[in-house]
Chain A
Amino acid sequence: MSFIMYLINGISLGSVYAIIALGYTMVYGIAKMLNFAHGDVIMIGSYISFVTFSQMGLGPVPSVVISIIVCTALGMIIERVAYKPLRKAASPLAVLITAIGVSYLLQNIALLVFGANPISYVSMLDIPPVKLAGGELTITGITLVTIVLCLVIMAVLMIFIKKTKAGQAMLAVSEDKDAAQLMGVNVNGTIALTFAIGSGLAALAGILLCSAYPTLTPYTGAMPGIKAFTAAVFGGIGSIPGALVGGILLGVIEILGRAYISSQLSDAIVFAVLIIVLLVKPTGILGKPIFEKV
């Protein structure tokens, strides 16, 4: 019975990783850069929802909507100000270092505005836990919401990419930026849209993360950000189903590792598995093999 409980908790944690990993994987797939500030956008999203829901007393829906809008705008501003001017830079390192800079900037702004004291985050979803098997199995409301939401987001995103023009443009840009431009695709616009979607999802991920693990500090996004990045690589960076598979596997491995191997070594186990997967399949579980262009 405990095993099922651990499994559900793992899938729930993994779903949060998967939603965050989407941001990494989409941006990597399309702009070929690692946006390390993504984890901190999550943190900003959580703070915005805390301010709107707990301090200003808005309802859950407006609060979530405002968080998503703020994060979407933030993601687009970061892309426009910090990354776009460097897109033509000779070294891919320039934009990577900038991303790290933006990450620290966001953390320190949060430190300045909200202070370093942790805040106890009150979940805006008041769903009673589901009790199964005569009370032995208690699944919290937020766990269910997280899992369902993650699946819905994945499905909507896949449909968006397959069926809409903007989605097709994304695919085209990720295949070959220059060719897509020649075919009349607005590359800059497509990249901006990718950042907007990724950052909007980051707001959702932040709210889910803090609802399940109710503490909020300026560093809240850092560790989940790194884990989600790992999940994206694990599943095959650039692949959307890969983010889902990688995220959920990572969450399950983390929780089961903590439960059955060692509660102190859970991170070590997660990363050991990552190393093994990458040794066996360097492109990740669902990653496309890379062919050398001649």
Chain B
Amino acid sequence: MAFENWMLLSRFLIQASLLKLVTSKEVIIKKRVISAVLAAAMVCGLLSGCGGNGGGKASADSDTFRIGGIGPVTGAAAIYGSAVRNAEQIAVDEINEAGGINGYQVSLQFEDDEHDAEKSVNAYNSLKDWGMQILAGTVTTTPCIAVADKTAADGMFEITPSASSTDVIKNDNVFQVCFTDPNQGSASAKYISDKGLGSKIGIIYDSSDVYSSGIYAKFKEEAASLGLEIVSESAFTADSNTDFSVQLQDAKDAGADLMFLPFYYQQAAIVLKQAKDMGFAPAFFGVDGMDGILTLENFDTSLAEGVMLLTPFAADASDEKTQAFVAKYNEKYGETPNQFAADAYDAIYIIKAAIESANVTPDMSVEEIGTALKGAMPSISYDGLTGSGMKWEATGEVNKDPKGVVIQNGVYVSID
């Protein structure tokens, strides 16, 4: 977390300034001690890093596909990682019950990365030791960018359910189930314009986050070409993400009738509360990061009444596939699956479709499987929970239609 590092830094600065209070001779000695300790810590870090990479490779069974998953199961983004882990498990169990992929069973191993790039790479290495052949992950963008470089170097096929930055798919072995950030920005602008949801738009975004600022930049560009009027735009950063009174006041003064909130639900929850407190009631429109707001602990869901968000998945959709998945998820994990779960469920089935299309077998090497699957991706078309007729560019980007949902009485309801 950036702000923790910041805190650590400021503490070190304070320590350093206190050191100066001590006489100069002591300072020199203490500085030496500190630098020795730091050096020792760094050496330890390097050694342990090497230890993680140096493990031997387990021999793969010749009759099982080994799919790995990585995502935050603990930490602030745990809601996404656990959803992905649960849904991937459901999909794998279903496939195995139905006789596997081309007769081969699938085994799934999921590792926690706490939404941290370094831990994610460690998780990737330990999955490789386990014998992973295909990666269905990682869940969040920043770790995914780090891991994508590793999979590219190893030639492993990777499909991420939910990491949405274009940086994730800059290597040709990585594919996405979710929309890219720019795609979400332009789709949101189009949606707002097509449905006439608002004419004076206010935007708040997180300038310290790639995801949020990526969507914001594209939204602004698209809004200009669609003739939507943006009356207020303001940013916040990870260090100042608990108070939005200034940003909301600015939007209120500008007479915004729709607030576009391209960031995560934790902050959105505060925005909704503060807006209500100051008597500001525009329409609120979020993107997939808003998904999760209804399950935020102790959150007063009436605050989210009427909030719209663009998500490819609505748990209340009436099609058989969605209903079966929601029922199964509910039964097994006791909650309604969110969009990340649906993306992850699709990811496993997309791997299945690609394997069937490319006719790969588990005894092939990681690189052979990777080459065959990435060759097969642009030619497959898949009907899943998060879109029908999903198709992929060779770059890894997905083509599917976004769906708008609105929160009514604490549940998602399709706008269309």
Contacts and interface: CB of A to CB of B under 8 A. Distances in A.
Given A129-B277, A223-B3, A223-B239, A120 B297 contact: yes
A214 B278 CA distance: 14
B10 to A, nearest CB: 6
B356 interface: no
B1 A219 contact: yes
Contact of A6 (B1, B246, B300): B246
B322 interface: no
Nearest to A55: B298
B162 to A, nearest CB: 18
A92 B15 CA distance: 10
Nearest to A141: B277
Contacts of A215: 242, 266-267, 269-270
Interface in A1-23: 2, 5-6, 9, 13
A50 interface: yes
A190 to B, nearest CB: 24
A217 interface: yes
Contact of A263 (B10, B15, B236, B296): B236
A13 B240 CA distance: 12
B278 A120 contact: no
A164 interface: no
Contacts of A214: 269-270, 273
B235 interface: yes
A213 interface: yes
B289 to A, nearest CB: 14
A96 B336 CA distance: 47
A253 B177 CA distance: 44
Interface residues of A, number: 45
Contacts of B14: 34, 96
Contact of A217 (B74, B76, B269): B76
B64 interface: no
Contacts of B278: 129, 138, 140
A226 interface: yes
Interface stretch (B143-151, B247-255, B325-333, B369-377): B247-255
Nearest to B247: A263
Contact of B269 (A93, A120, A264, A267): A120
A100 B298 CA distance: 30
Contacts of B299: 120
A80 to B, nearest CB: 23
Given A2-B253, A116-B74, A117-B78, A93 B19 contact: yes
B171 interface: no
A212 B277 CA distance: 10
B298 A9 contact: no
B298 A259 contact: no
Contacts of A135: 279
Contacts of B74: 116
B242 A93 contact: no
B379 interface: no
Contact of B10 (A226, A259, A266): A226
B298 A54 contact: yes
Interface of B: 1, 3-4, 7, 10-11, 14-15, 18-19, 21-22, 30, 74-76, 78-79, 207-208, 234-237, 239-240, 242-243, 245-247, 249-250, 253, 266-267, 269-270, 273, 277-279, 296-300
Given A9-B246, A36-B11, A263-B246, 13 more contacts: A2-B249, A50-B298, A96-B18, A116-B76, A119-B297, A120-B297, A122-B300, A214-B273, A222-B3, A255-B245, A258-B246, A259-B249, A263-B247
25 contacts: A6-B249, A50-B298, A91-B22, A92-B18, A92-B21, A93-B15, A96-B18, A116-B76, A117-B78, A117-B296, A117-B297, A118-B266, A119-B296, A120-B269, A129-B277, A131-B279, A135-B279, A214-B269, A215-B267, A223-B3, A226-B7, A255-B245, A259-B246, A264-B207, A267-B237
Q: Which 8 A-B pairs have the closest CB atoms?
A: A120-B299, A213-B242, A140-B277, A263-B234, A138-B279, A258-B246, A119-B297, A259-B246
Interface of A: 2, 5-6, 9, 13, 34, 36, 50, 54, 91-93, 96-97, 100, 115-122, 129, 131, 135, 138, 140, 142, 212-215, 217, 219, 222-223, 226, 255, 258-259, 263-264, 266-267
